[in-house]
Amino acid sequence: MRIKVGCCGFPVGMKKYFETFEVVEVQKTFYKPPSPKTAEKWRKEAPEDFEFTVKAWQVITHPPTSPTYKKAGIEAKNCGFFKPTDEVFRAWEVTKEVAEILKVKFVLFQTPKSFRDTDENMQNMREFFKSIERDFTFGFEPRGWREENIKRICEELDLVHVVDPFVSEQLYGEICYFRLHGFDYKHKYTDEELMELQNLLNKDCYVMFNNVHMFDDALRFKQLVEKRRV
């Protein structure tokens, strides 16, 4: 069983991060993807065996009304919710280019609460994922979906169901990809909670912390996993 522990984004300088962990989830690809030149710089600065995962560009998953567009300083239309539009497919090509440069294995698609499990949305997902290359393992982190529909769409499209294991149970995937949001993002995980988390691991898994205390919590959990291996 291979457990990879890291953070969603860089909570400290890249040099220190690379010296501490073996994987990071790139957040900039969600807001506004970095240029190919910047991605090449990151890949060269990271150790050869360091792994990047990326969060797909919001133009694919989020509607133009999302406040995350304003935060990124971009304008968009005819996009989001996996709609089969030129804008969405161009956004995938941009995400894909960065992922290829970073030698990514896993791409995360996180959807907003407004993306519900309607027939239209699920059909959009089918068209999108059946139209793009499957050069990566794809993960899907829905919010507010019924369990039967999560399981159905993930099985049909071969998507790893991405969860916060303290909130939801993974319903599909040969591997697991956990995103620890800290309940309210400000939460600092206790030793008991980290032990509980460790007991939930039963297959290859990415364990990615996404709370205010992510660096410290991820480091403590990494040390716990390493101690268990001894």
Q: Which residues of the chain have pLDDT under 50?
A: none
Structure tokens at 228: 């268990």
Domain locations in the chain as residue ranges: 3-229
pLDDT one-digit tens code per residue, 154-193? 999 999 999 999 999 999 999 999 999 998 899 999 999 9
- Whole-prediction pTM: 0.96
3-state secondary structure of 228: helix
C-alpha 81/C-alpha 67 separation (Å) is 15
Report residue 82 as tokens.
């996996």
* Domain 3-229 falls under CATH 2.70.98.10: no
Considering Cα of 172, then 112, then 222, then 54, what sign does the dihedral take?
positive
What local confidence, expressed as pLDDT, does residue 71 receive?
85
Q: Give the pLDDT confidence score for residue 227 in this predicted structure.
A: 86
Confidence at residue 48, expressed as pLDDT on a 0 to 100 scale: 96
